[in-house]
Amino acid sequence: MVEKYAVLPCNGLDKCAGVISREIALRLCGEAGHEIICPVFSRIAEVKYRKIISEHPLFVIDGCPTRCASKLAVEKNFKISNKITVTEEAKKSGIELNDTLQLREKEQALIGIILNDLMNTGNKVTQTIEETGVSCHFDYETFQKGKFLFRVPVNKEIFFNENDCWAYVSGNRARIGVTDFVQQNLSDILFFTPPEMGAEIDQFGEAGEIESSKSVFELITPVSGKVIAVNEALIQKPELINENPYELGWIADLELTAFENDKELLIGFDKYFEIMKRKVNDLNG
């Protein structure tokens, strides 16, 4: 976190994760000179805070998966530049938060880890699409129902599961994502939670979440593998999944670990296209 940020923390101070969120925000602003956005006063002093956010990128600190801070930012039409969730950071660090509001040794340790990561963000190198070696080209078949148009890739390199997720396999790597059926069914997508870099995920394991005002969708990966890249653009612009869930809104790249076995439980274009059409017709009567 090299540049100066406007920091919007969680206001759920009835939970340990919310208290940690507040403490991180206070330290960022007190020790590193960032600007704090109070989640309470932002509702009555919007002009003041909107000016701050116009001058500095917005960093959101959510306490838990409820994402009250992120939802407040969306409600106020504040553009989010970066964000973290305390409970997810705790899970990554193997720290189990206590049930009280006191910040004990392990909670203080988590705060230190998060602050250290944030302060060193400028030294981190994000893995690009080119570095993963996954090169994708999509050809589509379409199905229209009323005003809704659903595209499904026909490429022989692409495999599906019945959970409406796809995998584009190239050598020993695969790019994964959700289909048009998912994004049309969810409507406007507001949040994206990526899988953890380096995580090893089994076939049909969870590889991230996308959330709209209607519901949360867990991406069930069609293939087993190690996460070698995530689509960082979705963190700031999850609506890319609505625009194009294949070429723009892909979720992650995996290094395959058991593809020959995984193939037995995957389906190709022909079968998935029929499954998708049936689901669309069922939804629309």
Q: Read off the pLDDT of residues 67-103 as tens digits, 9 standing for 90 and up.
A: 888 888 877 778 777 788 899 888 888 888 888 888 8
Q: What average pLDDT score do residues 254-271 get?
A: 96
Q: Are 221 and 259 in contact (CB under 8 A)?
A: no
Same domain, 137 and 116: no
Q: Are 247 and 136 in contact (CB under 8 A)?
A: yes
Q: What percent of the chain has pLDDT over 90?
A: 48
In a domain? residue 1:
no
Q: Which helix (H) or strand (E) holds 206?
A: strand 206-212
Most confident of 25-29, 40-44, 75-79: 25-29
**Would you state the pLDDT for residue 9?**
92
Same domain, 105 and 152: no
**Would you state the pLDDT for residue 285?**
60
Mean pLDDT of the chain, nearest integer: 87
Same domain, 64 and 83: yes
In a domain? residue 42:
yes
Q: What average pLDDT score do residues 226-250 get?
A: 91
In a domain? residue 162:
yes
**3-state SS of 165-205?**
EEEEEECCEEEEEECHHHHHHHCCEEEEECCCCCCEECCCC
CB neighbour list of residue 130: distance below 8 Å, 6 or more residues apart: none
Same domain, 147 and 83: no
Same domain, 185 and 269: yes
User: Which of 123, 140, 157 is a domain's end point?
Assistant: 123
Cα separation, 24 vs 90, whole angstroms = 13
**Would you state the pLDDT for residue 152?**
95
**Would you state the pLDDT for residue 179?**
97
Same domain, 155 and 137: yes
Cα separation, 104 vs 50, whole angstroms = 35
In a domain? residue 117:
yes
In a domain? residue 215:
yes
Same domain, 174 and 107: no
Same domain, 38 and 107: yes
Cα separation, 108 vs 92, whole angstroms = 15
Instruction: Look at the alpha carbons of 120, 54, 244, 160 in this order and tell me if their dihedral is positive or negative.
Output: positive
Query: Interior CA angle at 126 toward 123 and 128, to 5°?
Result: 150
Same domain, 147 and 263: yes
Same domain, 139 and 262: yes
In a domain? residue 226:
yes
pTM: 0.62
pLDDT, tens digit (0-9, with 9 covering 90-100), for 173-192: 999 999 999 999 999 999 99
In a domain? residue 81:
yes
Q: Which helix (H) or strand (E) holds 84?
A: strand 80-85
Q: Which helix (H) or strand (E) holds 51?
A: helix 46-55
User: Which of 105, 123, 141 is a domain's end point?
Assistant: 123
Domain holding 156, by residue range, is 131-283
Cα separation, 25 vs 1, whole angstroms = 13
Same domain, 18 and 118: yes
Total number of domains in the chain: 2
Q: How far is CA 123 from CA 2, 84, 113, 126, in A?
A: 9, 18, 15, 10
